[in-house]
Structure 1
Amino acid sequence: MTTTLTETETVAPGPVLAPHPTLRDTVDQTLTMAWRAVKKMQRNFEQMFDVTIQPLLFTAMFAYIFGGAVAGDVDSYLPVIIPGLIGQTILTACVATGVQLREDMDKGVFDRFKALPIARIAPLAGPALADMLRYLIATVLTFGVGIAMGYRPDPLGLAAAIVLAVFAGWSIAWIFTWFGTVGRSAQGVQGISLMVMFPLTFLSNAFVPTDTMPGWLRAFADVNPVSHVISAIRDLATAGQLTTDVAWAVLGCAAVVAVFLPLSVRSYARKM
């Protein structure tokens, strides 16, 4: 059955999408992209291995292998290694953020987004927001394994340390998000990210005190922003204290976001 329109009848216009999304539109679109990323995690649980299996294995291995050599016994080493492993695990998860972004772009997923009148930041900020769930899981699991092994954190400080770790992961992830937007392939992004991740992790106070290092190496480790984040987590979780390292960690994370978030959005917009 077909119908025709008379001269006096008109078709009601559909909703007109604003060419320049408002702040509310941007928030809604970012949350939609975050939900898409969460659903993707549910369907591909392999993406969660680096924040579920790795914390369990690394915490047990590092504590029992290096505990006696570094601190004399495992119990004395736990307050050092647990925050250090949280920093390492979060950085590893951040690398995956950039690689997965590049894979999506290579598969043409973002070609669909560019045809939509959405905020340019939404496809980047959405996955970054969803990845905070991964950082939370990694942090809680690492602390949980440490507590099972004998680590005794300050209860209130522990909650603050978890919040700081998740915020640090979200902030640092913008560095690797930028790598994802400028890299030519997922393999290339992974290679560049690992070249940055390993020095930041191992040339820090994550596993050993910096006063045992040579002078030139200690100078780098002491100014390494990852060292400040790890020291802040130690101060909060172990002693329950707000120290200058906490302030430096928050300031450093804010500076990273201020630099790399605009760079990521600009690079992504150019590819659109």
Structure 2
Amino acid sequence: MNKNTTIEEVFQNHERPKKPGALNASATFAWRALLRIRYVPEQLFDVTVFPIIFLLMFTYLFGGAISGSTGEYLDFVLPGILVMTVSMITMYTGLDLNKDIEKGVFDRFRSLPIWRPSVLVGALVVDAVRYLIASTIMITLGYILGFRPEAGFFGVILAVLVLLLFAFSLSWIWTMLGIIVRSEKALMGISMMLLFPLTFLSSVFVNPTTMPNWLQVFVDINPITFVVDAVRGIIHGTDAMSDILMVIYISIGLIVVFGPLTMYFFRNKN
């Protein structure tokens, strides 16, 4: 349509606009999520303030008591808190979707002639950016406090990529629950009920060998433990291939199981 086209000519044109492709639709919803952050920057508090609080609190309150040195404990605990922080903020994918459902925006999206999963994919892509911001803040603060990864810069990059893969797969659980549950508070309660035991009963803060035998049984099969051990091993240059493979298997399993379930509830939401 050129600038000389009249309104009558527009309405008389019976040619339907082309349906947007999957990539364009996903990019549009990703841009929408970015705009929400732009106009409500408080949404970034969970990826900016919380990582700093967690790292400072656990390093300087418990470092001396657990390791005898805050410096030694920082090297041990930073990868764990990194995994814990990113895992915690994965719930916001489902929370944002639940808000759209409550406001009625969700029904409007489902009525559009677009690739249906683009609504979810766009949001998940932007959430990956949030996870990257949290990881960057955590590692930067660690460097300021004296953290030095033995594997160097490329080891840190690889560790963050492994963590992002797991966080992306974990987000599908909260996305599915965001469609099912009827309120934002209910989803928050469910996510906290699941995430707190998984993150605290793991190798985030202490070596599992210091725990009672009955507790080690759970810790050793906890998915968060595999992620922490993989990230910690990569950052410090130790042999972590078995843990990395386990994280990949777990992530693929979560996506394969909860991806189709999420789309099923997405299509059949009343």
Q: In the alignment, residue 87 of structure 1 is paired with which amino acid?
A: V
Aligned to 1:172: 170
- Does the alignment pair 1:101 with 2:102? no
Aligned to 2:75: 79
Q: Secondary structure at the match of 2:268?
A: helix
- Structure-2 separation of matches of 1:11 and 1:76: 74
- Structure-1 separation of matches of 2:176 and 2:7: 53
Structure 2 alignment gaps of length 5 or more: 1-5
Aligned to 1:14: 15
- Structure-2 separation of matches of 1:61 and 1:47: 22
- Structure-2 separation of matches of 1:3 and 1:95: 46
- Structure-2 separation of matches of 1:78 and 1:60: 9
- Structure-1 separation of matches of 2:68 and 2:172: 38
- Structure-1 separation of matches of 2:146 and 2:122: 37
Query: TM-score normalized by structure 1?
Result: 0.91
| CA RMSD between the two structures | 2.0
For 1:101-250, list aligned pairs within 5 A.
101-153=97-149, 154-155=151-152, 156-239=154-237, 241-250=239-248
Q: Secondary structure at the match of 1:114?
A: helix
Deviations 1:144-202 (A, max 9, x none): 11111111012221111111122221111111111101111111111111111111111
Between stretches 89-98 and 223-232, larger displacement belongs to: 89-98
Aligned to 1:268: 266
Q: Relative to 1, partners in 2 of residues 1:243 and 1:111: Cα closer, same or farther, differing over 3 Å?
A: same
- Does the alignment pair 1:63 with 2:59? yes
Q: In the alignment, residue 92 of structure 1 is paired with which amino acid?
A: M
Query: TM-score normalized by structure 2?
Result: 0.91
- Structure-2 separation of matches of 1:216 and 1:259: 29
- Structure-1 separation of matches of 2:139 and 2:163: 11
- Structure-2 separation of matches of 1:104 and 1:3: 34
Contact 1:34 1:129 (C-alpha < 8 Å) held by counterparts: yes
- Structure-2 separation of matches of 1:56 and 1:44: 21
Aligned to 2:257: 259
Contact 2:176 2:265 (C-alpha < 8 Å) held by counterparts: yes
Deviations 1:42-90 (A, max 9, x none): 1111111011011111111100111111111111111221111111111
Q: Relative to 1, partners in 2 of residues 1:266 and 1:187: Cα closer, same or farther, differing over 3 Å?
A: same
**Sequence identity (%):** 36
1:242 CA displacement: 4.6
Contact 1:157 1:240 (C-alpha < 8 Å) held by counterparts: no
1:230 CA displacement: 0.8
Contact 2:229 2:240 (C-alpha < 8 Å) held by counterparts: no
Contact 2:169 2:251 (C-alpha < 8 Å) held by counterparts: yes
Residue correspondences, number: 262
Q: In the alignment, residue 33 of structure 1 is paired with which amino acid?
A: F
1:262 CA displacement: 1.0
Deviations 1:101-136 (A, max 9, x none): 101110111121122011221111110111011000
Q: Secondary structure at the match of 2:111?
A: coil
Equivalent residue for 2:45, pick from 43, 46, 49:
49
Q: In the alignment, residue 176 of structure 2 is paired with which amino acid?
A: W
